[in-house]
């Protein structure tokens, strides 16, 4: 079986202000960091073995 997991970054400071982020390298809020941590925990629980993964180079993706 093939799996595809898509994850959007957590809340950034500009998202909170309802501003478009685009390619601007904006930090996550504390809430966004918690959202990212929870997403990681959910992915870990799937026990899927990854062949490949891709991410943005922007801070909000780490």
User: By the 8 A CB rule, do 53 and 34 touch?
Assistant: no
The residues spanned by each domain of the chain are 1-47
Residues making up the chain, counted from first to last: 62
pTM as predicted:
0.79
Residue 62, pLDDT > 80, answer: no
User: Which pLDDT value is given to residue 15?
Assistant: 87
Q: What local confidence, expressed as pLDDT, does residue 61 receive?
A: 82
Residue-wise pLDDT tens digits, 45-59:
999 999 999 998 888
Q: What is the DSSP string of 11-62?
A: -BHHHHTT---TT--PPBPHHHHHHHHHHHHHHHHHTPPPS-----SSGGG-
Q: What is the pLDDT of residue 30?
A: 95
Give the residue from 4, 12, 3 showing the smallest Cα distance to 36: 12
**DSSP tag of 4:** -
pLDDT tens-digit profile of 9-45? 889 999 899 898 788 899 999 999 999 999 999 999 9
């Amino acid at each position: 079986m093939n799996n595809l997991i898509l994850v959007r970054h957590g809340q950034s400071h500009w998202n909170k202000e309802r501003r478009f982020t685009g390619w601007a390298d904006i930090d996550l809020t504390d809430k966004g960091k918690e959202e990212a941590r929870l997403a990681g925990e959910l992915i870990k629980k799937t026990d899927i073995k990854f062949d490949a993964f891709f991410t943005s180079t922007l801070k909000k993706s780490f």
